Amino acid sequence: MSDLSHIRNFCIIAHIDHGKSTLADRILQLTGAVEERKMKEQLLDDMDLERERGITIKAHPVSMNYKAKDGKTYQFNLIDTPGHVDFSYEVSRSLQACEGAILVVDAAQGVEAQTVSNTYLAEEQNLAIFPVLNKIELPNAQPEVVAQQIEDLLAIEASDCLTVSAKTGQGIAEVLEAVVARIPPPKPGVDSSARGLVFDSKYDAFRGVVVYLRLFSGSLKPGEKVRMMGSEMDYEIKEVGIFAPDPTPVKELKEGSVGYVIANIKDASEIQIGDTMTSARHPAATPLPGFKEIHPMVFAGIYPIETSDYEKLGKSLDKLKLNDAAFTYQAESSVALGFGFRCGFLGLLHMEIVQERLRREFDLDIIASYPNVIYRVNLKSGETLEVDNPTMLPDVMQVQSMEEPFIKATIITPTDCLGDMMQLIMEKRGEITHTDSIDAQRVMLTCDLPLNEVLIDFYDRLKSISRGYASMDYEYADYRESDLVKMDILIHSEPVDAFSAIVHRSKAVYRGRQMCASLKDVIPRQAFSVAIQAALGGKIIARETIRAYRKDVTAKCYGGDISRKRKLLERQKEGKKKMKSIGKVNIPQEAFIAVLKTKQE
């Protein structure tokens, strides 16, 4: 058995913008893991998108050595995690690879929605948690008040809190000593056979799949044969290494450490996040407990603008899925947009990031359809269907009832915005279950909301009402029966599949008018007038008309009898009538793109 007392595996968890990545920068600096000349802000956020938006999207592992005051040298394996609700799955995966967590709380902002949910995630994994109050250099910082909030809301002793300033570096040395003292070393493995938990992976164009894992027992060396216990496929290890913070090859990965393995894994689909890697010669008897299966909440179609890019899009999605286990996709086709893929995401930010990564990393021109959730349709025959696309909805006569997914949301808001916040929740068909007062300035609301209503502009409205001070976290609750209807858009009396939507009856008229108005602006005028209508079944609920082009047929008549002009105009009228009865309206691709944009705005 190897001595594990010198290893500490921990991660940093917090709400968005509370200073996780800056604290990670200071820890890297203080332990000397990065040379001063290579140091830059948010060093671990290596994706362009992360640096631009100032948010962490992926969890980033890093190993370093720290010489403590007791004279011993410890190996720290740190994982910096995202703070946004859409990436909480990244957090839960990282927690499985650790024994402890540093909970960072902004000393000026106090406890926020994600602080609460990430603490619960860490407690579920039985991790040692110690709170760190960051940004104490700010003039409006209130460390004593925030420490009391942590005790009241999270049941963590206020006296356990450390105060630091990740920006200036004040108090960071105490944090490192606390990591040694408060976070337990890894437990030794049950036996000597190698067992490693795959918590992430990425695709390298030259070396195939790079697997990130935490080794719970045994060791792994280059040249050894390993087996993935989920797929039962064997591979040969080419290289093992640690992140320091750049990938650095080592002779062997030992028990208790976090690192990467490069084997001859060519295909992205062969690796499952949460799988166990073991030795092929002496395989472990049982795999490690994986992660609970994550189910996407939001669905949208992604189509290539150039039809010839379809194959490339499929391969790119395959590589992206490897690096993002919460993302799912399957092939589909649409009359308007051709062949594409139906993709599942955890939320709107997740959807936006995936689309942006496809554009940048894989150089693709894509268009996404309107985001939808999965509805449950109970038929009169007793069957239940799951529908995420309005075109799949069965005939109204066969439907008994429809259910939609609800979420349980926690919203922390300033007290003076409480009235407006309640108004917003009511407008989105939500119901407030209870309210808790955090301190004199802030209230925590717990409410049930239909996921469909939260999709589009809820988060933006929440931020604008509270002038940016409110925060929100949510988790999936259950399905509930609702009065849902399918709204069709008819153009020149022909229904267009791509514009159909499933909406709540109370919102149908408003949405119908909105869509007709935006279509009127983008469909080109024809030689005959075109009606754009929104319909529920056979009932028209909104209409706009695109006026016809009119050629000046009387231009050649100079003077003469008025009856000549009348005759020409009558003939034009007859022609238009005939055209209207047989004419077809071709909707340009730009119209679909424009309407999808207006819907999302």
Binding-site positions = 17-22
Angle at 327 between CA 342 and CA 276, to 5 degrees: 135
β-bridge partners, 513:
none
From residue 212, give the alpha-carbon distance in Å to each of 116, 168, 233, 236, 583.
Answer: 28, 32, 17, 16, 59
Q: How, if at all, do strands 375-379 and 384-387 pair?
A: antiparallel
Q: What does the H/E/C string look like for 23-63? A: HHHHHHHHCCCCCHHHCCCCCCCCCHHHHHHCCCCCCEEEE
Name the amino acid, one letter, at 45: D
Question: Tokens 């004279």 label which residue?
Answer: 71
Phi, psi of 225 (to 5 degrees): -90, 130
H-helix segments, 248-402: 310-323, 348-361
H or E element in which residue 421 lies: helix 418-427
CA distance 42 to 514: 42
Chain mean position to CA 503: 23
* Distance separating alpha carbons of residues 24 and 169, to the nearest angstrom: 11
Q: Nearest to residue 285, comparing CAs of 220, 196, 193, 198?
A: 193
Q: Let me know how long the chain is.
A: 601
Prior bond of 184 cis (ω within 30°): no
Distance CA 211, CA 239 (A): 11
What amino acid occupies position 169? G
Q: Side-chain half-sphere of 337: how many Cα atoms within 13 Å?
A: 29
Residue 295 tokens read as 């189910």
The answer to whether 181 touches 8, Cβ cutoff 8 Å, is: no
- What do you get for the CA distance between the two ends of the chain, in Å? 59
Q: What is the 3-state secondary structure (H, E, C) of 232-270?
A: CEEEEEEEEEEECCCEEEECCECCCCEEEEEECCCCHHH
Query: b or e along 248-267 (b: 16 or more beta carbons within 10 Å of the residue's beta carbon)?
Result: eebeebbbbbbbbbbbebee
**Distance separating alpha carbons of residues 220 and 255, to the nearest angstrom:** 9
Tell me the binding residues for GTP: 17-22
Sign of the CA dihedral running 440, 120, 129, 8: negative
Give Cα 485 to chain centroid, integer Å. Answer: 27
Distances (CA, A) of 441 to 412, 414, 416, 422: 10, 6, 8, 16
